[in-house]
Amino acid sequence: MSAETQSASLEAVDCTEAQALVGPFVDGELSHDDAGSLSAHLASCATCAVTLKRQEQLKQAVRSASTVTAPAHLRSKILAAIAAEAPPARTSGISGWRLSPARWSFEGLSPRAVAFSAAALGMAAWFAFGGLTHPVVDKLLRRSALHTVIDDGIALHSRTLPLDYTASDVGLVQHWLEGNLHFGVHLPRFAQHADAPQPTLLGVRLSTLHARPAAMIQYAVAEDHGRRVSLLVVDDPEPELVGPARRVEGRDVFVSRAHGYNVATWRRDEIVYSLISDLDEGDVLALVRAAEQR
């Protein structure tokens, strides 16, 4: 039974027309009649029905991938800029008033309230060793804070964005970070280890992750065919890191594999450190050990 005979009042469309209508249909742009014609065609054409499904998925994927919240400091920067834009009468008392040269202002950040609780790691018993691979747990953790850090970290790592400060000396970079971040970063001096790769510091890029200031410290591992290692440092008092952890140098280290990268995440006070690399898991853990060794 063809769709056309069911709805004689509607103009029948062929595949070529249907293909052109699918996008506007998904966008809610078709007239009632055109939408009816398309629906009739889709009911009898699996090929075009798949195209529709694909378009819907794509639209949804674009939306969910790129929905973001503007950083809190942007709002205050804009308010200040607008206030400064007012006529002279308004600003006469404070002439020369300028936006703070500092990259970030922190009015929007919430007070540190949540301390990291290492006790919430009951699931660790599920996995002696082997990483975050259990599908059920993986699903549960999908939306958790840890995964947010991991996903964002990988996104930054894989993009090789330009650096804000380039130096190979740990002291110089540490000093630069102190001048540009409001939170203290402990920049690791990777202890020399026969069994750990020796990363060379390349520099640092400032960033924001979900409105929180972050620094992405980049390394190259020369002896291992020019692989890169990124250390993402986020000032993040909130998310509790939950998941199977390993104990490394007195820290709970969450090791995870995603999108082809190995990621080790741990917390030191209110700062979350995340080491991202395509090095193998053993090497990544060795790096964490070298970084945290005191």
Which partner, other proteins, Zn ion, none, binds residue 128 by CB below 5 to 8 Å per kind? none
Cβ-proximal residues to 183 (8 Å cutoff; 6+ apart), any chain: 213, 235, 270, 271
Nearest to 232 by CA among 181, 156, 126, 132: 156
Angle between helices 46-66 and 32-44 (to 10 degrees): 120
Identity of the amino acid at 192: Q
- Stretch 6-35: interaction string toward other proteins, x if CB under 8 A: ---------xx-xxx--xx--xxx------
Which partner, Zn ion, other proteins, none, binds residue 58 by CB below 5 to 8 Å per kind? other proteins
- With beta carbons less than 8 A apart as the criterion, state whether 8 and 36 touch: no
Q: Of the two residues 81 and 191, which places its CB atom closer to other proteins in the complex?
A: 81
- Which of 45, 80, 121, 220 contacts Zn ion by CB under 5 A? 45
**Residue 250 phi, psi dihedral angles, 5° rounding:** 80, 5
- Which of 2, 6, 44, 50 contacts other proteins by CB under 8 A? 50
Which partner, Zn ion, other proteins, none, binds residue 45 by CB below 5 to 8 Å per kind? Zn ion
User: Smallest distance, Å, CB 25 to other proteins?
Assistant: 12
Site for other proteins in 149-168 (CB under 8 A): 151, 154-155, 158-159, 161
Nearest to 26 by CA among 64, 254, 85, 34: 34
DSSP type of residue 232: E
User: Smallest distance, Å, CB 242 to other proteins?
Assistant: 20
- With beta carbons less than 8 A apart as the criterion, state whether 259 and 265 touch: no
| Nearest-angstrom CA–CA distance, 140 and 138 | 5
- Which of 48, 109, 141, 242 contacts Zn ion by CB under 5 A? 48
**Contact residues for other proteins, defined by CB under 8 A:** 15-16, 18-20, 23-24, 27-29, 46-48, 50-51, 53-55, 57-59, 61-71, 74-75, 77-79, 81-83, 85-87, 89-90, 133, 135, 138, 151, 154-155, 158-159, 161, 206-208, 257-260
